[in-house]
Structure 1
Amino acid sequence: MSQKKKFLLRIDPKLYEALEGWAADEFRSVNTHIEFLLREAVRKAGRLPLHTRVKKEGEEEME
């Protein structure tokens, strides 16, 4: 399994609270939910490289 890139994210407290509630509604951690939202935005914008297969939630990673 590949390592995930770590980075610091500064975010407005009100936005964080909204994300925290949304993540809880989806049974995700805030970190996982932010990654999910970013992945969806990148996919919808057509910015995800074609050779990159993004694992869907609950799916086993295939090598």
Structure 2
Amino acid sequence: MAEKKAYPLRINAEILSAVQAWADEELRSANAQIEYVLREALRRAGRLPKPAKKKTEDGQ
């Protein structure tokens, strides 16, 4: 899994409250919910980088 970096986020209180309620329903933290929503948006837009191919034991 990729390294996680801290990023300060300024967010409207109403939006944060809605995200927290959504996260609670899906048994996630608000932070995990925001990351999930961003990842899904990136995936749908075709903007997620392709995962690096793993090398086999013989180096190929």
Give % identity.
Answer: 48
- The total of aligned residue pairs comes to 52
Partners in 1 of 2:39 and 2:2 — Cα distance? 17
Partners in 1 of 2:3 and 2:46 — Cα distance? 24
The AA in structure 2 aligned to 1:37 is V
Residue in structure 2 matched with residue 3 of structure 1 by the alignment: 3
Partners in 2 of 1:24 and 1:36 — Cα distance? 13
How far does residue 49 in structure 1 lie from its aligned partner after superposition?
A: 1.2
Instruction: List alignment gaps of at least 5 residues for structure 1.
Output: 53-63
The AA in structure 1 aligned to 2:9 is L
Classify 1:20/1:41 alpha carbon distance in 2 versus 1 (closer, same or farther; 3 Å). Answer: same
Partners in 1 of 2:20 and 2:7 — Cα distance? 19
How far does residue 19 in structure 1 lie from its aligned partner after superposition?
A: 0.4
Residue in structure 1 matched with residue 27 of structure 2 by the alignment: 27
After superposing on structure 2, the runs of 4+ consecutive aligned residues of structure 1 that deviate more than 3 Å are none
TM-score normalised according to structure 1 size: 0.75
